[in-house]
Chain A
Amino acid sequence: MTDPVRDEWYPVSLVSQLHHAARDTQLLGEPIRVTLRDGQPLVTASGRALPSQARYGHVWTSLGTPARPLFDIPEADQPGRRLVDVGLVRVKCSPLRAVENFLDIAHFPFVHTDILGAEPHTEVGRYDVAIRDEVDEVWATKVRFYQPQAAKSAEGGITTEYMYRVPAPTVSILYKTCPPRPGEWDVITLFVQPLTETLCEVWPWMALFDDVTPLTDLIHFQQTIFLQDRSILENQQPSLLPLDPGMEIPTRADLTSVAYRRWLKRRGYTYGAQLVAA
């Protein structure tokens, strides 16, 4: 029998952090242990070996039987990109709220003031959102927003273009204008490990065209952004993401969130979510 929650692949560690010590952590409320054996990841739950693989700097595992391979990020293998392990931020919120926040641009001027947005540039123009049935992913395209400092490598304000992709319930991938390399997209991902329905660890990861910025600065930039987001995520009520309309009021700027919630409901992915009937 398939299980829409347990059969997913989840990030549970950075590969680079396993060389010295095992990581004892949790997945969907179950204790797990992540180690390397002969250079390969080994994940166990109560002594049982779980499916596991190393990809995009992280160890991925599943408590069930994954029906599909891990999603593909073709840019990860593109020559010239710098792959950045950012680390983790623990957030007391639903893993789905963390993903939804990552898909949102309208909060930039208020939460990431003078970095990713600034008043009076608050308007969110029309963009396209679709649930792509052939790949079963949510995509938002033609998203544009004015940013005072879009990336560590950006000097001064620019209008940045974005694409958002949700290839799995607790993963989001952001493609954004790459200032030093017009025509290419910088890739910034949000891999979310659900510890419980209301506690998660967020693993940002990047594949950038940027040979200049020191690693420390790249990591600090992302940590600053995610710590600002955390102050929001830990103060939303209810803490579970409402999948049915009625509890919250979306506008046109929230179309990605609307599609994400609909897509979760259609897949029966309810871990960290609440239904009106519940």
Chain B
Amino acid sequence: MTAAWTPVALVRDVPPLCVMPACVDGVELALWRSATGRLAAWADRCPHRGMRLSHGFVRGEALSCIYHGWSYGSDGHCLRIPAHPDLEPPEAIRVPVYHAVESGGVVWVATEAPDVPPPTVEGSPLRSLTVEGAVDWAAAGFSLSGPVARGHLSGIGVTILVQPLPNGRQVLHALAEAATPAALKEASRDLEALRRQAEEALA
């Protein structure tokens, strides 16, 4: 598989001190942002007892596991083991770190470093939504190029970024051109209609 960027969230949905689960190339991730705004995408597993780090908590520049409070710094290495406050954690205790960048109001993640930056996208964040099944982009009047679908919803130009998940699910991250709040609400409803069509086609 060639290294590629996958859209995983709208930037505005990952504020400082937030941690959330994400999935890229079938790898489960903990996506988080530090107090000063540093964004990171890590393997969603604490090396101590295998607990999901996406259930953890962010303090300052570190992500801590909710199970035993082991905390990890920005390079993924263990900073502190609360059960042994005087112990300097060995270098070997480390969470795998992936590539995460912000571009065009979107968080992009890659499990292997791509040669090129993420695609350039236009518009303001509209919303993200999970769909069971595949959207028929051509039928919806969209053109699809890589993970980027471009078209119109309620007459507004929108860009929809597709994040594939296992088992035929996907997350759509939508951006819209400038419009009135009422028109954006309509576009958002149309996006829900796209989801309903995809899920009804599946059933």
Contacts and interface: CB of A to CB of B under 8 A. Distances in A.
A235 B46 CA distance: 11
A110 B49 contact: no
B47 A110 contact: no
A107 B85 contact: no
Contacts of B55: 231, 235
Contacts of B87: 251
Interface in B41-57: 45, 47-52, 55
Nearest to A238: B50
Contact of B67 (A110, A122, A123, A253): A110
The listed residue with most B CB atoms (<10 A of its CB), out of A109, A236, A247, is A236
A232 B67 contact: yes
Contacts of A248: 47-50
Contacts of B45: 237
B66 interface: yes
Given A232-B51, A235-B51, A238-B50, A123 B68 contact: no
B70 to A, nearest CB: 9
B69 interface: yes
A106 B50 contact: no
Interface string A233-263: 0011110000000011111110000000000
A111 interface: yes
Nearest to B55: A235
Contacts of B65: 110
A49 to B, nearest CB: 40
B58 interface: no
Given A249-B47, A251-B83, A237 B52 contact: yes
Contacts, number: 61
The secondary structure that dominates the A interface is: loop
Contacts of A124: 83-84
A247 B48 CA distance: 9
A235 B52 contact: yes
A128 interface: no
B81 interface: yes
B32 to A, nearest CB: 16
A75 interface: no
Contact of B50 (A110, A122, A237, A253): A237
A247 B51 CA distance: 12
A109 B68 CA distance: 8
B203 to A, nearest CB: 26
A164 to B, nearest CB: 16
B69 A123 contact: no
A82 to B, nearest CB: 32
B92 to A, nearest CB: 8
Interface string A92-108: 00000000000000110
Contacts of B67: 107, 110-111, 232
B136 to A, nearest CB: 35
A122 B75 CA distance: 24
B47 A106 contact: no
Contacts of B114: none
Interface of A: 106-107, 109-111, 119, 122-124, 231-232, 235-238, 247-253
16 contacts: A106-B82, A107-B68, A110-B65, A110-B66, A111-B67, A122-B69, A122-B82, A123-B85, A232-B51, A236-B49, A237-B45, A248-B47, A248-B48, A251-B48, A251-B81, A251-B84
Interface of B: 45, 47-52, 55, 65-69, 81-85, 87, 92-93
Q: Which 6 A-B pairs have the closest CB atoms?
A: A122-B82, A253-B83, A106-B83, A124-B83, A235-B52, A236-B50
Given A107-B68, A248-B49, 10 more contacts: A106-B83, A107-B67, A123-B85, A124-B84, A238-B50, A248-B48, A249-B92, A249-B93, A251-B81, A251-B83
